[in-house]
Amino acid sequence: MSEKKEVQQLEIPSVDLLEGELKRTRYNARYRRTLRTTIFSLLLVAAAAVIIAVLLLPVLQISSGSMENTLVDGDMVISLNNGKYKTGDIIGFYYNNVVLIKRVIATSGDWVDIAEDGTVTVNGVVLDEPYVEEKALGDCNIKLPYQVPQGKCFVLGDNRTESIDSRNTAVGCISNDVVLGKLLARIWPLKSFTLLN
């Protein structure tokens, strides 16, 4: 008998209370669904950005003075990895697990000669190099004139007195498979934003 009294004393919730609870439950479900969708979208965008940054448009930081005054230590640049570059392009490439930045001077089959005063000729034509402030033979231990091997390119830093590059057998000519890409623009510092030729 006492159990029946206890059951009868339980209060039935009002319609307003049930509607409020239903709204709260629906809101929580919508909130969780929106949160999941947002997190998934952010992860998808981040993954796409990483893939683009690593495979197509790597961002590189300059860590030496070998390209001064074109690029200085600390500059950040964006490059395009399309496998196509030509004489005059600035490229980034791997050398002993370090990324180096140099300028392409000659490609497969070209003959390179560098005079004592630092004047560079490719296939008998003197290069016009307005980006070089001070010409120098630099650290050169190759026999000149030098023919660029097939599938490789001859690179020099714009700061010819400081740069270690294809003039030295330590670096030598660069194989196409180690090239990260052609530099497109300096993006940092912002006040120095420049498109690179």
Q: Tell me which DSSP letter residue 46 carries.
A: H
Three-class SS of 67-100: CCCCCCCCCEEEEECCCCCCCCCEEEEEECCEEE
Closest of 110, 170, 106, 162 to residue 141, by C-alpha: 170
Owner of token pair 């239903």: 22
Task: Convert 117-138 to b/e letters by CB count within 10 Å (16 or more is b).
Answer: ebebbbeeeebebeebeeebbb
User: Which phi and psi (to 5°) does residue 126 adopt?
Assistant: -70, 130
- For the question of residue 66 being annotated catalytic, the response is yes
Q: Which of 66, 79, 163, 166 is catalytic?
A: 66
Which residues are catalytically annotated? 66
